[in-house]
């Protein structure tokens, strides 16, 4: 990459990306810290977040979304009045991102990806992610890393245990992938099957329903319960040492939930859900897919809860609905949860004096207004900067009451 616009001290003092260094990181925090070193400079940085969920991969829909956003950003750059050389550098960065995403091998993993590119800063970093808020392409003077930081905080580390009555396998799932931990085997395991009583002197098996059969099945039940208690204890130990943010229980059929009664009350609250996996044959890739599916189901439940809170809050002053109303709440630092309709995009402005977002330049009064390609993307960044939570509503039924943007507030209007 060209480095003519950078001083020699910049080139030598900035350490390599944590991903390039191969440090085995399992959180996004080191990468966020590394990207923030670029700071704000005179050079433009292109930040791309792209959803790669199964429906986005169908017939290359994610590439269509990307090309639409590239077209919008190019129009925005043309209206920004940049010098020809500056604009050409940004366009080359955008082209590098597009070419990278067009190669199938670069989008094999994860259900999202973030890419940061700046030719003058010698920056091109692609990060597979378990999810992104929504597909967006931004051009700014600094890498937009707040979504990475928020994702790291929300996703954190998830432990998935895949078990049956005789064994248990533990997986630590992070934004970067899956690592298998030491497993457990039942200390005593009676072979499952039909009870066969003692044979008579003629070689005929005894009848069922005898005290021997009762003891046989009772022993199996006791062994299972001891095994499940050991699994619960291991999960509790992992939650205390690894900073676990959630637990997924997996197994064959209804037994996937069998460990739940043995969990410590603190850990029981961290259960994200259950899923079906074969404990003998599950691969790390299958575990990742299963955990992401469980998280999606949990997120749909959170969406419904947020919509109920919005409905209640609109009548009591604890919520607002509509793009301009939500932007106004952001400008006052009121937003606790920003609710976003992923299908909505609209141009807008940022007031240069106050930093406030608006859909109408007149909203800045006598002050100058900087045109924005999509004010919704900027609202997401502002909400994250203020420490708020962003919920992009994927459920069409849930987001029907949302007028583009809505917000649950920290304090009443």
pLDDT for the residue 220: 66
Question: Could you report the per-residue pLDDT of 89-134, keeping only the tens digit for each?
Answer: 999 999 999 999 999 888 877 788 999 999 999 999 998 888 888 8
Distance CA 196, CA 207 (A): 8
Q: Which of 45, 26, 281 is nearest to 130 (CA)?
A: 26
Distance CA 246, CA 242 (A): 11
Tokens at 233, concatenated: 């204890």
Tell me the Ramachandran region of residue 386: left when phi exceeds 0, alpha when psi lies from -120 to 50, beta otherwise.
alpha
Residues lower than pLDDT 70 in the chain: 1-15, 19-26, 187-220, 242-243
pLDDT for the residue 225: 87
Output the CA torsion sign for 242, 246, 250, 256: positive
pLDDT for the residue 176: 73
pLDDT for the residue 244: 80
Distance CA 410, CA 58 (A): 39
Site of tokens 């290359």:
60
Give the global pTM.
0.76
Q: In what order do the strands lie in the sheet with 157-163?
A: 177-185, 167-174, 157-163, 244-251, 271-276
The fold adopted by the segment(s) 8-154 is 3.30.960
CATH number given to 301-409: 3.30.1330.30
Distance CA 185, CA 230 (A): 9
Question: Could you report the per-residue pLDDT of 295-327, keeping only the tens digit for each?
Answer: 888 888 888 999 999 999 998 999 999 999 999
**157-193+220-282 is classed CATH 1.10.1490.10:** no
Query: What is the domain partition of the chain in residue ranges?
Result: 8-154, 157-193+220-282, 301-409
- SS3 category, 61: helix
Q: Residue 91 burial (CB < 10 Å; 0-12/13-18/19+)? A: middle
């Amino acid at each position: 990459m060209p480095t003519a616009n950078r001083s020699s001290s910049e080139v030598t003092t900035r350490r390599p990306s944590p991903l390039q260094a191969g440090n085995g990181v399992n959180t996004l925090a080191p990468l966020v810290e590394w990207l923030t070193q670029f700071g704000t400079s005179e050079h433009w940085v292109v930040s791309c977040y792209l959803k790669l969920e199964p429906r986005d991969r169908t017939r290359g829909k994610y590439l269509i979304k990307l090309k639409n956003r590239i077209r919008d950003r190019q129009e925005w750059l043309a209206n920004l009045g940049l010098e020809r050389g500056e604009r050409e550098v940004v366009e080359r960065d955008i082209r590098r991102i597009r070419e990278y995403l067009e190669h199938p091998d670069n989008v094999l993993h994860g259900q999202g990806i973030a890419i940061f590119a700046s030719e003058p800063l010698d920056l091109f970093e692609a990060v597979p992610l378990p999810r992104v808020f929504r597909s967006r392409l931004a051009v700014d003077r600094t890498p937009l890393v707040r979504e990475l930081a928020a994702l790291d905080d929300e996703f954190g580390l998830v432990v998935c245990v895949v078990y049956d009555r005789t064994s248990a396998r533990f997986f630590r799932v992070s934004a970067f992938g899956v690592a298998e931990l030491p497993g457990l085997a039942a200390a005593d395991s009676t072979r499952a099957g039909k009870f066969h009583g003692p044979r008579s002197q003629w070689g005929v098996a005894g009848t069922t329903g005898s005290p021997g059969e009762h003891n046989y099945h009772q022993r199996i039940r006791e062994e299972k319960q001891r095994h499940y208690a050991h699994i619960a204890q291991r999960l509790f130990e992992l939650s205390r040492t690894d900073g676990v943010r959630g637990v997924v229980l997996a197994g064959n059929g209804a037994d996937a939930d069998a460990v739940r009664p043995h969990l410590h009350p603190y850990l029981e609250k961290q259960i994200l859900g259950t899923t079906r996996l074969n404990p003998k044959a599950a691969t790390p890739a299958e575990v990742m897919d299963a955990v992401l599916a469980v998280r999606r189901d949990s997120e749909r439940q959170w969406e419904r809860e947020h919509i109920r809170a919005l409905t209640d809050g609109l009548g009591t002053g604890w919520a607002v609905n509509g793009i301009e109303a939500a932007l106004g709440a952001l400008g006052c630092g009121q937003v606790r949860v920003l609710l976003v309709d992923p299908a909505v995009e609209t141009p807008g402005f940022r007031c240069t004096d106050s930093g406030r977002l608006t859909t109408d330049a007149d909203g800045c009064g006598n002050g100058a207004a900087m045109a924005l390609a999509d004010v919704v993307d900027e609202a997401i960044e502002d909400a994250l900067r203020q420490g708020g939570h962003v919920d992009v509503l994927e459920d069409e039924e849930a987001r029907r009451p949302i007028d583009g943007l809505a917000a649950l507030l920290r304090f009443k209007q």
